[in-house]
Structure 1
Amino acid sequence: MKRIAAKSDNATRAHELVSSLQARFVAGLEKLAADLGSEQRFSPVEWFRDEGSHGGGIRFETADGDLFGRGSVNVSQVHYDDNPEKKLGSASAISTIIHPCNPLAPSVHIHISWTEMKSGAGYWRMMADLNPSNENKAHTAQFFDAMKKAAPALYEEGIAQGERYFYIPTLGRHRGVAHFYLENYATDDAAADYALARTVGEASIDSYLDILTQALSSSDKASDEQQAAQLAYHTLYFFQVLTLDRGTTTGLLVHNQNDVGIMGSLPAYVDRQLLRSWIDRMQPPQHQLLNALVAALPESKPALVDEAVKKRLAAVVRNHYRTYPEAIEMQASGNTIPSTVKNHS
């Protein structure tokens, strides 16, 4: 099979941008691993949308190593150039999550995407958030500073939208400690918008690589309490992604041809009992969703989230929102809500 690329010049440039960010991040992560004497590397996995006729993508992933419990750096481009009934022209994106094994090293999530309608209108989505299980205040400040330098005029807006999007009402706290998010971003200066997307992507990647190098090069050893905090935090991360993250849910609703890739943000292990303890806090019908997610997990302590489990979890999320389509309005948003599912309809 062969992936057919979108015809739009803007889509081509966007795909070149996200692909360059992917190469930058994977190269940096593998260099860090080599410098630390680790043999852990990222392996390419290709997927196809409708056997490649509508695009697809390639992700570099790793799991169960000495440095990274889970890691995914995914680039995709989906388009409908051959379908005049679709309003959406194309969507090109990098979505990446890294979950280090060391509880003193933070996780990171970065997403940069360009969505283009056949009318020619389009918008960027830019997200970068630092997710430590045991916060290092200096690392938090460093990440914030990188975002401020990358987007000085939009820093306050990006932080405000990020704080809103990553808040978990049920638990009364945020996922992560440093959030930057611009949704549906577009101005009259397309070149400046493109440059901003590149700058935000490169700044978040480079800042995280430096933070990760500091954490993994340190001689500090995690305590039992910090190990336990990591499992609890990874459980919260799992909870937020599968009950609140609009990007994950809409991706699963649009198609079922990259479920493992879409679920690449999930950590390796979660606490099933902790998840179960949150069910009664959920508003209907979301309590049913969480109950089904818990049932899809293995009963081991902690519960391993492997490829087979990811597929079961994807099916749970997809079935839930097909049964309760109105429940998607209960998910997180920035200042605006993207019409992703409608665009693909």
Structure 2
Amino acid sequence: MNSRLLSRLRFPSTKALAPKNGYLRSAFYSQQNAPSTIKKMSAGSVLALSLASATAIGGVVYYGFMDKPQKELVEYNKNVVKSQQFQRKPVELNLTPPKFDLESTEPVKKRMEKFVLALQKSLVGNLEALDQNENKKFYWDRWTREDGNGYGISCVLQDSNTFEKAGVNVSVIGGPVSKQQLDSMRARKVSPEIDEKVDYDFWVAGISTVIHPSNPMAPTSHFNYRYFELTKRGDPEHKVVTSWFGGGADLTPSYIFEEDCEHFHQTLKDASDKHDKKLYPEFKKACDEYFTIPHRNETRGIGGTFFDDLNDRPLNELFHLVFDMGFAFQNSYLPIIAKRKDMPFTEEQKLWQQIRRGRYVEFNLINDRGTKFGLFTPGARIESILMSLPLTARWEYMHKPPPGSEEEKLLNALKTPRDWVKN
């Protein structure tokens, strides 16, 4: 080994480099100088000494870094990693609904079909903007019923940046009414004109959306709107026996943020108030009653609006209402996701979110009429019906949150529904 070269080996004195533009900082540690002279040795001895010297130098450097880290340096670098993990471009959402044509003379069923397709396209675009993942987009699954009676478009995103699972489904289908469906209509007293001895066909156009964010601070939400027509089977004129609108939107948080709950409800109330100020109190009450898990004695979430079998005024007026309520969902929910999606959270908070999603599964499979209707529909597309279920969920035996905790605060809100609107 060249003695001159070895004699020049030095370690700089300890010095932390100042951070620039958020880059990670590094430090150098000083060690004792290497010997400057080497006695004459054989070639083999020199080689052995060279290898030993290199090993020693590597060991000194390794243990210098690994055994003597600066605590403040380690913490600084951790914080940089965390901040850079969530450095994303500002989210630009398009929350302006298309212009509603008050003068349109198209049949309501045609207008409803255009509406659900337009809302699906708008919502998928905004959800992708929130997700900010160039490598993963919604999967568009276009399908046609095997019997030819209708089609659907299922848009699903899962395991991405912001959303663990998000689905925006549209279906425009028809077919024979099953006995279970007819029994449900009669039980709800949809129309006195429905005769149990008559065979009926249905036609329905609807949009159904369930969004499960990854961050437990960001709430799950669901909405759906649909228009339903019933005709006598074999009627050459296809005269509509009865028709109605149904739908609503609700919020299911794992953690309560008062301002989020108030914003969600206020936005939906403003949309319904444009048509009739009596509607929101009725829709809100119906939502609290419908989205209840009886065997848990708690609601699924903090409510929203819900209505079914709505046919108490001209169809054109009802369609206008549904149009406004549908697009209002984006204004009520998406700003909440933008605000909460990158908040820090703990492993315990993530586990709590999974437990709450277990409750979501219980309601959807046991109590939800829409799920049952879909499962009882001949030729139903099961993947689209069960799209609403979360990607992951958890059930812990006898789980009970600590008294006074944020988790208990949520349970208290679910045990006793409250009014979230201030005016």
CA distance in 1, matches of 2:313, 2:251: 30
- Kindly indicate whether residue 352 of structure 2 is the aligned counterpart of residue 206 of structure 1: no
Displacement after TM superposition at 1:63 (Å): 1.1
List aligned pairs for 1:1-345, cutoff 5 A: 9-34=107-132, 39-51=135-147, 53-80=148-175, 87-118=200-231, 119-120=239-240, 121-152=242-273, 153=277, 154-216=279-341, 218=342, 220-274=343-397
Code of the aligned partner of 1:93:
G
Compute the displacement of 1:178 (Å).
Answer: 2.4
Select between 103-112 and 204-213 the one with higher mean Cα deviation: 204-213
TM-aligned CA distance change 1:68 to 1:171, over 3 Å: same
Distance of 1:178 and 1:204 partners within structure 2? 13
Alpha-carbon distance in 2 for matches of 1:50, 1:38: 34
- 1:293 — aligned with what? none
Q: Shift of the alpha carbon at 1:260?
A: 0.8
Q: Hey, what does 1:338 align to over in structure 2?
A: none
Task: Tell me how far apart the structure 1 counterparts of residues 137 and 366 of structure 2 sit (CA, whole Å).
Answer: 31
The structure whose residues are more often helix, as a share, is 1
Question: SS at the partner of 1:96?
Answer: strand
Identity %: 27
Match for 2:136: what amino acid?
Q
Indicate if the aligned counterparts of 1:38 and 1:67 stay in contact, CA closer than 8 A.
no
CA distance in 2, matches of 1:69, 1:256: 29
Q: Which runs of 5+ in 1 are unaligned?
A: 1-7, 279-345
1:33–1:39 contact (8 Å) kept in structure 2: no
- 1:56 is displaced (CA, Å) by 2.1
**How well do the aligned residues superpose, as a CA RMSD in angstroms?**
2.0
| Pairwise CA distance, 1:88 | 3.0
| 1:270 counterpart SS class | coil
| Structure 1 stretches of at least 4 aligned residues deviating more than 4 Å after TM superposition | none
Contact (CA 8 Å) 2:265, 2:332: kept in 1 or not?
A: no
| Rg (Cα) greater in structure | 2
Cα displacement (A) at 1:233: 0.4
- The CA deviation at 1:227 is 1.1
CA–CA separation in structure 2 for the residues paired with 1:190 and 1:235? 38
Q: Partners of 1:67 and 1:39 in 2: how far apart?
A: 13
Structure 2 CA distance, aligned partners of 1:144 and 1:236?
22
1:70-112 deviation per Cα after TM superposition (whole angstroms, max 9, x unaligned): 111000011249xxx8523410000010101111111110100
Matched residue SS, 1:254: coil
CA distance in 2, matches of 1:38, 1:175: 33
Give secondary structure in 2 for the equivalent of 1:151.
helix
- 2:292 and 2:300 in contact (8 A); partners too: yes
**2: distance between equivalents of 1:169 and 1:187?**
29
Rounded to whole Å, the distance in 1 between the matches of 2:138 and 2:320 is 28
Letter in 2 for 1:42: F
User: Higher mean Cα deviation, 246-255 or 8-17?
Assistant: 8-17
Q: Which has the higher contact order (CA 8 A, sep 6+)?
A: 1
CA contact 1:128–1:204 (8 Å) conserved in 2: yes
In 2, the alpha carbon distance for the partners of 1:156 and 1:177 equals: 14
TM-score, structure 1 as length reference? 0.71
